[in-house]
Amino acid sequence: MSDIKAVIQLLCQHLNILLKVNLKPENFRLAKFNNNNPETIQELWDTLVKLCKALGSKISLSEKCNSQVWVKLRLASQGYNSAEFYSLPADNTSGSRELLLALMWIIANENALATLTQECVRQSPLCQEYSDAPTQEVLNGRSTVSILNSQSKKALSLEDQINYCLWLANQIKYNINQIHDLEEERIKNTHKVHEATAGSSGLPHLSVFETKLVRDPELLKQWMPKLSKLNDLLTTHSKWLKKKSAFWEWMGTVVELKEKELSSNSLQQGDESALADFVNAARMYAGTRTPDTGSNTMGGCPRFFISSLYAKSTNNLVRKASSSDLLADMGLNENGVIIHASDWLAQIDTELQDIEKMRHEKLQELNLLLQSMTQKLGIVAIADVSSGEVESEDCSK
């Protein structure tokens, strides 16, 4: 682990390129020993928020929920089980190690670096068959069709309005045919480019955009900065894949330090108001109740005494009130899944079963009704035939 500083520097470079943050190896060193440097804590919070936004979340960031609480909700929904993290204060006075652990948990659990790198490549010129035409060129090259407003239409007679609609329909049909013809022409020309560039640079073929860059040095100069950044990203990611095992070994020492402080009961206590904000947000997200706004209350939730969260248990390794107990009291289970969501799903299953049962009963009633109608129609038909035979006998007599 002698080169761990270089590996951390590589990870910082990777995150800085992807998220446009300013992480430094010194931030990791301070966070390992839980040094509550405000700049380090703020930088880790910013990285967490940007990473969660880049990865996406089913939980929307509303005005009533600040970014820190939103990050806590997102991690809870993904199954992150740490009461210390959920009780971190909002004033950046403590919690650098918890932020580091949470950040690395997201990176490991969601394969964040690979996912974001693939997304950058997908949106880059390397994955574009054609270059995007400037908007002004599209506007200058298109032919416009004037559309009459409602007042102008009222001035026309009914026959003129019908003719105008027919003319518009013909224009639309003509444009669709033109688009179809242009698309066929583009496919033919693209196939010619692929055939002409087969085997170039060790690739099966070059795209139309790549061929254009090769033939136009001036255009290549314009795209070089973007391509250079993408090349730096891919190079950094490739190096990270080779050296990431050393970093995760170092992260193991960070976890050991936390466990050591847990066993000695020297872990810093969390912020009660921050925990209350998270509990309120969790309950709002679960849809169980409207939170209270009293400054001296816990938002309608049981008051959590933070000291009990960090008390030593009988084996001196876990707390008396574990994080799973805390999450359960907030409406979350150990996997971070909203308990009430499972209740809703069970209720929906019950309702679906009732609907299916009702449908089956209605179907049986319908079958019985059809059988009854068929029998009645058969009796009427027999009666009609019988009456017809009687009339024919009377006529013959």
Render 196-229 in DSSP notation, one character per residue: HTTTGGGSS---HHHHHHHH-HHHHHHHHHHHHH
Residue 299 DSSP symbol: T
- Count H helices and E strands in the chain, helices first: 16, 0
CA geometry: angle at 374 spanning 369 and 376, to 5°? 95
Q: What are phi and psi of 332, to 5 degrees?
A: -120, 150
In a structure prediction context, what are the per-residue pLDDT tens digits for the chain, which is 397 residues long?
558 999 999 999 999 999 999 999 999 999 999 998 999 999 999 999 999 999 987 777 765 678 888 899 889 888 888 888 888 888 888 889 999 999 999 999 999 999 999 999 888 877 777 766 554 554 555 555 555 565 566 677 888 888 888 998 999 999 999 999 999 998 998 898 888 888 877 778 888 888 888 888 888 888 888 889 999 999 999 999 999 999 999 999 999 998 888 877 654 555 667 777 777 777 777 664 344 444 333 333 333 322 333 333 323 333 333 444 444 444 444 444 444 445 656 676 777 788 888 888 888 888 787 777 777 666 655 555 555 554 555 555 4
Residues 239, 10: contact at Cβ < 8 Å?
A: yes
DSSP states of 151-177: HHHHHS-HHHHHHHHHHHHHHHHHHHH
Burial of 89 from C-beta contacts in 10 A (0-12 / 13-18 / 19+)? middle
Quote the pTM value.
0.60
**Residue 361 is encoded by which pair of tokens?**
């009963």
**Residue 240 is encoded by which pair of tokens?**
């990270």
Residues 6+ apart with CB under 8 A from 93: 36, 38, 41
